[in-house]
Amino acid sequence: MSYDKNNVFAKILRGEIPCKKVFENKYVLSFHDINPKKKIHVLVIPKGEYTDLDHFHSEATEIEIVEFNKSVTRIVKMLKISSNENGYRMLSNIGHDGAQEVPHLHYHIFGGEKIGVLGG
């Protein structure tokens, strides 16, 4: 999957599409999903042009990787859903078979209610 500079997250990062921001720093933006699946449903995206987790880990700088992961911890604490609270689910769809819709790395963070078991 190649990076599309006109994907919805790229447009949000450029300020062309508004978002309800949760957290932002030099490397990361987090915002509420416009079509939430749970009581709390936020997205976390790197500000760099990375299509998925594989691309991110092979091309991002060490500081980008560290800040992306640390930001998740900051965000779940801000939302009061960390492991010290009731917990959360974090999901990243990767590639065609993983049902990735937007070619920009993103984590979905769900919480604020019981989520249930995945599988089948």
Distance CA 4, CA 103 (A): 7
Q: Is 41 a catalytic residue?
A: no
Spot the catalytic one: 57, 96, 106, 108.
106
DSSP letter at 61 equals -
CB 17 within 8 A of CB 10: no
Which sign, positive or negative, has the C-alpha torsion 107, 16, 66, 85? negative
> In this structure, which amino acid lies at residue 77?
K
Sheet with 21-24: strands ordered across: 21-24, 28-32, 40-46, 107-111, 88-91
Question: Active-site residue numbers?
Answer: 106
